[in-house]
């Protein structure tokens, strides 16, 4: 999308890949997600129709993901993780021991799960195994970038620490400014959004805690 410098770019939860370079960048993650979703769906003995009903995603989307032809958004990954009783980190990791008491990962190897049109990014640095999810993210938004999110499951909380710039955090339509060096906690089981406020980029760390859903997968 082309905009004048004074306009705000509205970004949704969809991961848009518009160039061959970005296609190549996301290909390893897309392939890994395809393998993990296929494995977990079969492990739980779920058909595509059953997983679609649990996740709220269409059967067509699920088929595309398992065939490695889809580039799932952060929102889609969250829905899939919840319906499969795992965390988003579980979907993008082939860790042989996800429940080990200690895991060490290199931040440079962390997957970028979203990129904005002006250089913004969202990187999942590390996450716990599911279904009770705790994740550490690193975000960067450039001037004019705005990331909107639908409500997360009930009880979800997000903790923020702004490293540079000013974050405009919107909750249920009300905007709150968080400057560099400040922290905040937010209940994100309601509509929310992140925006770069001002003429310099904003960079912040975010911890997400999403409690496990009340209804577990039924044993077969």
In this predicted model, what pLDDT tens digit does every residue of 44-83 receive, in sequence order? 999 999 999 999 999 999 999 999 987 888 889 988 988 9
In this predicted model, what pLDDT tens digit does every residue of 137-187 receive, in sequence order? 999 999 999 999 989 889 999 999 999 999 999 999 999 999 999 999 999
Does pTM top 0.85 for this prediction?
A: no
> Is 53 among the domain residues?
yes
The rounded distance, in Å, linking the Cα atoms of 182 and 52 is 40
> Is 179 among the domain residues?
yes
> Is 206 among the domain residues?
yes
> Is 125 among the domain residues?
yes
Based on the structure, what is the number of domains in the chain? Answer: 1
The rounded distance, in Å, linking the Cα atoms of 17 and 144 is 19
> Is 113 among the domain residues?
yes
Per-residue buried b or exposed e for 3-13, using 16+ beta carbons within 10 Å of the residue's own CB: eeeeeebebeb
Structural domain including 168 reads 10-210
- The CATH number linked to 166 is 2.60.120.10
Closest listed residue to residue 196, CA positions, set 153, 141, 155: 141
């Amino acid at each position: 999308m082309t905009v004048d410098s004074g306009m705000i770019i509205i970004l949704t939860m969809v991961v848009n890949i518009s160039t061959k370079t970005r296609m190549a960048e996301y290909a390893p993650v897309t392939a890994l997600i395809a393998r993990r979703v296929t494995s977990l769906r079969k492990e739980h003995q779920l058909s595509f129709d059953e997983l679609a009903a649990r996740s709220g995603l269409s059967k067509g989307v699920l088929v595309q993901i398992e065939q490695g032809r889809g580039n799932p958004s952060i929102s889609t990954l969250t829905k899939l993780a919840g319906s499969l009783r795992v965390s988003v980190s579980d979907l993008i990791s082939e860790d042989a021991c996800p429940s080990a008491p200690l895991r060490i990962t290199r931040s440079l190897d962390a997957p970028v799960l979203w990129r904005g049109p002006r250089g913004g990014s969202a990187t999942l640095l590390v996450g716990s195994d599911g279904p009770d999810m705790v994740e550490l993210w690193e975000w960067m938004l450039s001037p004019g970038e705005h990331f909107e999110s639908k409500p997360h499951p009930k009880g979800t909380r997000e903790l923020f620490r702004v490293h540079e710039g000013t974050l405009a955090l919107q909750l249920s339509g009300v905007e709150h400014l968080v400057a560099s060096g400040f922290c905040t906690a937010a209940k994100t089981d309601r509509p929310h959004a992140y925006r770069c406020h001002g003429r310099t980029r904003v960079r912040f760390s975010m911890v997400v805690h999403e409690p496990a859903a009340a209804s577990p997968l039924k044993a077969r």
